[in-house]
Amino acid sequence: MKIEKTPFADLLLITPTVFEDVRGYFFEPFNEARFRVETGLNISFVQDNESKSSKGILRGMHFQVPPKSQAKLIRVTKGAVLDVVVDLRRTQPTFGQYFMVEINETNKLQLFIPEGFAHGFYVLEEDTIFSYKCSNYYAKECDSVLRWDDPSVNIPWPTRDAMLSEKDQQGKALDEFKTIFF
């Protein structure tokens, strides 16, 4: 596995080692011991989630607030997404900035998202399957949504006419959130 640091503290892009031959391919999407050694992070994942979406769907920008905040390890098993995170950690120089990367079934990239980030994605292909591990269980009372089109963050989504859930349409602007993450 290859670990790439991003300009955001602890936000990591992971490229797995893939073994391919005439039969197809094999790779290990996650190995806790290797993850800890390679990243230096001591994270335990307690919940796996998966979603299937049609092209043009936008999901996000989701996060959970303390004490139930979550780190995530995300990947796409089928299709493709434009994956986006926004740093909500006020003490970081990257606070309020976004990071964007295409993740798809061909490049097999994974993104480790530490606690303190809002996360979302725009679906680029039909029947895309998105999978992720969480370091904490889902807690409705700690669930929150950053506005996907917040002008202060200015994410360059492929469209401004994305299909969103009702929950995602009601996200708050960055300046509406009190200090959540440090």
Active site residues: 62, 132
Give the three-class secondary structure for 101. strand
- How far is 18 from 29, CA to CA, in rounded Å? 9
Locate 1 and state its tokens.
Answer: 């596995």
**124 contacts 80 by C-beta, under 8 angstroms:** yes
Exposed, middle or buried: residue 114 (CB in 10 Å: 0-12, 13-18, 19+)?
buried
Rounded to 5 degrees, φ, ψ at 33 are -65, -45
- How far is 82 from 101, CA to CA, in rounded Å? 6
List residues bridging with 113 in a β-sheet. 72
How many beta carbons lie within 10 A of that of residue 108, not counting itself?
18
